[in-house]
Structure 1
Amino acid sequence: MKFSKIFVGLLITASSVIYAQDKEISLEEIYDGTFRQERLQSLQSLNNGEEYVVLNRNQDTNTSSIDVYSYETGKKLRSLLDSENLAEISGFQGFQLSDDESKILLSTKVEQIYRRSSRAVYYIYNVKDRNLTKLSDKKVQEPTFSPDASKIAYVFENNIYTYNLTSGEETQITTDGEKNKIINGVTDWVYEEEFAFVRAFAWNKTGTHIAYLKFDESEVPEFSMDIFGKDLYPTQQVFKYPKAGEKNSEVALYMYELSSEKNEKVKLGDYQDFYIPRIKWTQDPEILSVQVLNRHQNNLDLIFVDATNNEANVVMNETDDAYIDITDNLTFLEDNSFIWTSEKDGWNHIYLYNKKGKLKNQVTKGNWEVTNYYGYDKNANRIFYQSTENGSVNRDVYSIKPNGKRKTRLTQKEGMNSADFSADFTYFINSYTSTETPYEFTLHNAKNGKLVRKIKDNSALLEKEAAYNFSAKVLSTIEVNGNELNMWMIKPKDFDPKKKYPLLMFQYSGPGSQSVSNSYFGTNDYWYQLLANEGYIIATVDGRGTGFKGAAFKKVTQKELGKYEVEDQIDAAKKLGARDYIDEDRIGIWGWSYGGFMSSNAILKGNDTFSMAIAVAPVISWRFYDSIYTERYMTTPQENPSGYDENSPINHVEKLKGDYLLIHGGGDDNVHLQNTMRMVEALVQANKQFDWAIYPDRNHGIYGGNTRLHLYTLMTNFIKEKL
């Protein structure tokens, strides 16, 4: 009897082991949002610093509301507006508060143009009397309140207009706007993509002047794409796209005075072939700051323009042997002294200048980088910023006096910390993640970093993931070509060091980028878990040219994109392949965009190291890419032909030995399908076999409907078959 009980017990235990096996992750789960992290809704602080507003949408009624919450308690206090109470519109997609918070711009029928630009039908809501006014029947761009909320300036069909909210009068400021020729008040394609802004006009502090940029792109070469759609005949998208070494838009600065309706071009100086990547009014309503950058992007002048006479004076000049990064970190204090960030000492740091552009002092110093500038609190006389002081894979939030003293670390957990401050710098919401922790959101006192309350975490996601027993993403370093490079690795959950595993490497590698950080799984990391379950080891190495380890490390690739970065990936693969548990004959590499350029080069130049590569939306020759990005790192093809050609995959196709998969979106306005088509032709003429796929009409992100699921199924099957 006793023996029978033991036997039955063993059977129960064995069957429990069988049924308690870990769940296997599927591609469908990855791309249907099963592992989507909870995020904090996009919020905006109100001027009082004690409250913030959030745009909420009611899916059942298809209505939108702007709701007010308390920072301290997180409780909803009231609604600024609810579209359920508005007869004119059912809902809206976005909103913008006037400076005094008396009026709100609401966007409806939003139509995306490029990555950052859109046009929409806008309404103005008066918070006090709850009246709703339609700005225009037309879809317009970048509407912006004047400082006193009495007017709105906007762009329609490349011309600037103002709208008087009291009289309802519309005034047209410019008249020469024309598609693919003249643009007023918004940027051309290449400025939008590479200088990361769309609105190219600005009100001064008193609303008496509007400064704006005019782009003459008449002589910029056109690029065209066939959009196949679902109709009998495809349509053609034609737009101005300056490729490396080609003609750019001619940009000019104008000043418009509202009272006199005087519109005048500002003479900035004797500049030839230049950029104006930023304009910003100072605290003085008559002084506009303008940044002028030469075409090589290694010489920048900060210019002050006096709106009373349009005289321009250079107040600061910065040069660099390689290039100067453009940021939004310029901040003017009440006396018109200003805060600026620069890599001039070899690391990105904060500097303070007086109103005449004379350096007062370097605020931050050390062999670490300021990675985000949050702003200046005049009441506490403190600057808030994020940095890599605790390691290049980590981020922390700090405050410091402008004199560089009394630095305070405001975040304590090791990992990636990012702050969102209230308007008066009383509070900040900290977003935190690490390799072991999905996003957590907490509220802190900005004075000392003390925790006020927990807002949201992803504990439910961790509970869900427990059933899968995912492998850890382990951070480490690897010594390659005399540098300690950051690396992460994911191994199969049943990893056996006595076995040999195929290795798949992922990288991006673009200048100043970072793929290795102390952060939790992204969508691709779940895909890597699926591959790890299939018996693959996945690794990423950030080689030379990537960011957050000083200017010299980042800028070593200057004029030779694809040389040192590829060398580091090949040598890292060799070092990893020498490990007992990695099969050196089964090493693959993949990447997207710049990463596709890299993976293509890797399987060609490293054909004895990599047996497989996948390139998604790759740049195949920098001659095909846009002027601003490419010339920043390469100068022009006319000046540097060998730099362009020696590291271009299209010139090394005869070296292909392994399995190569080439993928592109047919409607990619950024990295054009031309890249893949030229690579295909070169491979065909070299009689090299390869696989390829084109996703019709899809842009650089290759998404929409089942597109991502199809794409990753394709890549998964290719990896399983070839690696």
Structure 2
Amino acid sequence: MTTNETAADTFPRQYARTLRYTVGMPRSFAVAPDGSRVVFLRSRGGGDRANLLWTLDPADGSEKVAADPVALLGGGEEDLSPAERARRERSREGAAGIVGYALDQAGELAAFPLSGRLFAADLVAGGVRELPAAGPVLDPRPSPDGRWVAYPTTAGVLRLTAADGSGDRSLVEPEQPGITWGQAEFIAQEEMHRDRGYWWSPAGDRLLVTRVDEAPVRRWWIADPANPGSVPTEVAYPAAGTPNADVTLWLVDLDGTRTEVVWDRTAYPYLARVHWSAGGPPLLLVQARSQREQLVLTVDPATGATETLAVERDEAWLELFHGVPAWTADGRLLRISDAPGHRALLAGDTVLTDDTLHLRTVLSVGATEVLVQASEGESAETVPGLTGVYAVPLGEGKPRLLREGGAVDAVRGGAVTVLSWSSLERAGRRTEVLVDGAPAGHIVTSYAERPVLTARPELRWAGERRIPAAVLLPTGYDRERDGLLPVLMDPYGGPHGQMVVQSHERFLSSQWFADQGFAVVVADGRGTPGRSPAWEKSVAGDLAKPPVEDQVAALHALAEEFPLDLDRVAIRGWSFGGYLAGMAVLHRPDVFHAAVAGAPVTDVALYDTHYQERYLGLPQEHPERYREHSLIEYAAKLERPLMLVHGLADDNVVVAHTLRLSSALLAAGRPHTVLPLSGVTHMTPQEQVAENLLLLQVAFLKDALGMPA
């Protein structure tokens, strides 16, 4: 029992304190190219959110602290800049201490920011030194040869210092306020999952650097109503149909000389991916604003001119993937492309995988094979939510399964592979070290707390569409004694949010709701990932009706097997799940008798460009879609209990969404409940808030369905 645990620990309290059981879990793995060391982050315990930097010796499994934030800060508290807080919000980072690091090519030098200061750790000889820096510092990265460390600052400057701390200087500076060098813009971080804005050349003598001008972006102001004396925060937010930031890319020499990288930015304004390795010239992936067309470009490092290497088009949209485009060791372009019923891995013109695998992510590119994360193809008859890490040969041979389960991940360096996975049978995430493809007998230690309850999901393919679903019943439930149960639908139900996976932790909150007297149903309908391109893209132009229909279909199909009381059905969700809950209770009150909508997008025209336009197009071209997808348009239809929950400091789904819906409901004379969360963003990392939020939802739902308190 840790110092933060008590004998009376409850699930809501533990769940909130441990950030959903992620605190104390090893994460952010990297392996030196020669396999000599594994690098990772982990806190000291399941109740301590401050991560340390660690190394592991693959030869004997010994673990050492490489950098301790408590020691480096002299025991003082972290002081995060607003820019760093925003970066963490974009990545949904709730931990503290060292939350990210970057290595040189040899994996010998690690650079990281801490409390806005710049630190470098020698992973071979040991020791950490603070480098003089004109901070606050964001996202420092060593050059491949380890001689230099580049770092952006909150002032928008990209600076350079020698790894020994000498010669700190400005490399490129903003010409005026609102311009930043070397940082990813909001839309790249939030939607493209590109969280960086500069890339070193393989030789370490130049960099590719983004220049972001936010002047075209409309401004919003996020206030703190609970503290009227505080000044509202200005946010450059590109809502659907409005201008994005102007993003350009530059080759920057170490003396500050700049050469612009040129492509048709009018036709392809989104810079989605950048790759620069020894395998070939720099690669760019640029997208049209519609996201239905994109180019893979090569860059001439001498002139900045680009040449088109591949053109991709799709009538719905083109998905972005981690790890590609990239070069193979023999100079072929590696990419993921949609095919009937699955996504395939391609090296040049060679298709490396068939319809038995649905590619998700490229994890590592080696000399002879590529590590990927993949689901089985759509025709697979295995249980839902199963994913695996596969080694795909670049030459002859078939993909080789290394590990399957839920939330699988892997990194590789030389002969050493680090595999992480979860399962339904065991709490926690397990991380194993392989050497030459065989287990080395080393399991990376996890300090994550053991949950105070056990999840018991029963996974099914529900209905004719074979909707991935899970059902959780109260612990100790007896059908003859307890009869039919009120139902709580507990989905996310939208793009990029797969809930039905082989992970015990994923179902813990659902099990807790079940133990309050519900039969909980989790269903991944059309639009969710992991199934097939057609499944995901069936929501193109209609992001509301198919997800609601599939929740209804899963409910009715599962009621044929499980004790579901269809006269008492509620639905809850957060973010897209909150939007789905609102749509369900407004459009299908015959099925859903109560809803909790957390941080819902109620007016889709207020959400960002890259996300909303991907599914609905431009509002100027499809105004009817935006009206039909607005919860506000249907406020007068509400006839069931509805609780709206929203963080007042949310800069992703701003609180205006809930306030506008509440105003429309009031104008229509429709009673409802609003729960404002002061100081809370789109995440809810505050322990007391997260704990009490679960308790208040249960109380509301029980009352709405006529259940005993």
Q: What is the TM-score when the length of structure 1 is the normalising length?
A: 0.84
Per-residue CA distance 1:471-527 (angstroms, 9 max, x = gap): 621111211xx41111110112223157222111111111243111222133xx444
Structure 1 residues 131-142: aligned runs within 5 Å: 132-142=129-139
Residue by residue, what CA displacement relative to the aligned partner does 1:437-487 show, whole Å, maximum 9, x if unpaired? 22352535465555745555899948x65xxxx5621111211xx411111
Compute the displacement of 1:124 (Å): 3.5
Any residues of structure 2 matched to 1:124-523 within 5 Å, and which? 124-125=120-121, 132-156=129-153, 157-165=155-163, 168-179=166-177, 181-228=178-225, 233-259=229-255, 261-269=256-264, 271-272=266-267, 274-283=269-278, 287-330=281-324, 331-353=326-348, 359=349, 361-378=350-367, 381-389=368-376, 391=382, 392-403=384-395, 405-411=397-403, 415-416=405-406, 418-434=408-424, 436-439=425-428, 441=430, 443=432, 445=434, 448=437, 452-455=441-444, 461=450, 465=453, 472-479=456-463, 482-492=464-474, 493-496=476-479, 499-522=483-506
Q: 1:321/1:299 Cα in 2 relative to 1: closer, same or farther (>3 Å)?
A: same
Partner of 2:39: 53
Residues 409 and 284 from structure 1, CA distance in 2 versus in 1: closer, same or farther, beyond 3 angstroms? closer
Matched, 1:100 2:98: no
Cα drift, residue 376 of structure 1:
2.6
The answer on whether the counterparts of 2:249 and 2:261 sit within 8 Å (CA) in structure 1 is: yes
- Structure 1 residues 570 and 344: CA distance shift in structure 2, 3 A: same
CA distance, structure 2, for counterparts of residue 219 and residue 676 of structure 1 = 27
SS at match of 2:504: coil
SS state at 2:551 partner: helix
Bigger Cα displacement from structure 2, 531-540 vs 584-593: 531-540
Q: SS at the partner of 2:423?
A: strand
Return closer, same or farther for 1:575/1:130 CA change in 2, 3 Å cut-off: closer
- CA distance 1:497–1:243, change in 2 (3 Å): farther
* 1:160 maps to amino acid: L
Contact 1:528 1:538 (C-alpha < 8 Å) held by counterparts: yes
Q: For each residue in 1:334-388, what CA deviation from the matched residue of structure 2 results, as whole angstroms up to 9, or x when unmatched?
A: 34323111214442221001xxxxx2x100011541223222331xx12222222
**Counterparts in 2 of 1:190 and 1:471: CA distance versus 1, 3 Å:** closer
Matched residue, 2:643: 661
Question: In structure 2, what is the Cα distance between the partners aligned to 1:350 and 1:162?
Answer: 37
Consecutive unaligned residues in structure 1, runs of 5 or more: 1-22, 110-119, 354-358
Show the 5 A alignment for 1:11-30. Answer: 27-30=12-15
Rate the CA distance shift 1:246–1:455 in 2: closer, same or farther, 3 A.
closer
Displacement, 1:106? Answer: 4.2
Confirm or deny that 1:40 pairs with 2:34. Answer: no
Distance 1:74 1:503, change over 3 A: same
Distance 1:475 1:61 in 2: 33
Contact 2:112 2:139 in 1 (8 A): no
Q: CA deviation at 1:649?
A: 1.4
Q: Is the 8 A contact 1:560 1:644 kept in 2?
A: no
Deviation of residue 621 (structure 1)?
Answer: 1.8
Q: Which moved more, 1:341-350 or 1:646-655?
A: 341-350
Find the aligned partners of 1:508 and 1:65 in 2 and give their Cα distance: 32
Superposition map of 1:591-610 within 5 A: 591-610=573-592
| Residue aligned with 1:675, SS | helix
Inter-CA distance 152–432: structure 2 relative to 1 (3 Å threshold)? same
Q: Give matches, 1:484-633, under 5 Å.
A: 484-492=466-474, 493-496=476-479, 499-522=483-506, 525-576=507-558, 581-633=563-615
Structure 1 pair 63/533, CA: closer, same or farther in 2 (3 Å)?
closer
**Counterpart of 2:283 in 1: which secondary structure?**
strand
Asked if 2 retains the 8 angstrom alpha-carbon contact of 1:497 and 1:581, the reply is no
Between the aligned residues of both structures, percent identity stands at 21
Name the CA distance, whole Å, in 2 between partners of 1:24 and 1:170. 50
1:652 match: secondary structure? helix
Question: Residues of 1 paired with 2:220 and 2:34: CA distance?
Answer: 48
CA 1:507–1:460 in structure 2 vs 1: closer, same or farther (change >3 Å)? closer
The structure with higher relative contact order (CA 8 Å, sep 6+) is 2
SS in 2 for 1:437: coil
Contact map agreement 2:493 2:525 (CA 8 A) in 1: yes
User: Is contact 1:377-1:425 (8 Å) kept?
Assistant: no
- Go from structure 1 to structure 2 and tell me whether the alpha carbon gap of 1:278 and 1:107 turns closer, same or farther (over 3 Å shift): same
Distance 1:659 1:535 in 2: 19
Q: Given the superposition, is the C-alpha separation of residues 58 and 137 from structure 1 closer, same or farther in structure 2, using an over 3 Å criterion?
A: farther
**Would the alpha carbon gap of residues 27 and 184 (structure 1) be closer, same or farther in structure 2, given more than 3 Å must change?**
closer
Alignment check: 8 A CA contact 1:439 1:458 kept: no
Amino acid aligned to 1:519: S
CA deviation vs aligned residue, 1:620-655 (integer Å, no higher than 9, x gap): 021110001111111111111122111321111122
Q: Which amino acid aligns with 2:156?
A: N
Conserved in 2, the CA contact under 8 Å of 1:471 and 1:491?
no
Instruction: Please report how far the alpha carbon of residue 288 of structure 1 lies from its aligned counterpart in structure 2 after TM superposition.
Output: 1.8
1:410 touches 1:446 (CA, 8 Å); kept in 2? no
Name the larger-Rg structure. Answer: 1
Given that 2:327 and 2:333 are in contact with CA atoms closer than 8 Å, whether structure 1 keeps it comes out as yes
Post-superposition CA distance 1:521-575 (Å, at most 9, x none) = 33xx444334333332111121111122211111011011111111222333344
Task: State how many pairs are aligned.
Answer: 666
1:159·1:177 contact (CA, 8 Å) conserved in 2? Answer: no
Letter in 1 for 2:663: E
Provide the C-alpha distance between the structure 1 equivalents of 2:295 and 2:135, rounded to a whole number of angstroms: 38
Amino acid paired to 1:39: M
Task: Report the alpha carbon displacement of residue 35 of structure 1 after superposing the two structures with TM.
Answer: 8.9
In structure 2, do the counterparts of structure 1 residues 661 and 312 end up closer, same or farther at CA, with 3 Å as the change threshold? same
Name the Cα RMSD after superposition: 3.3
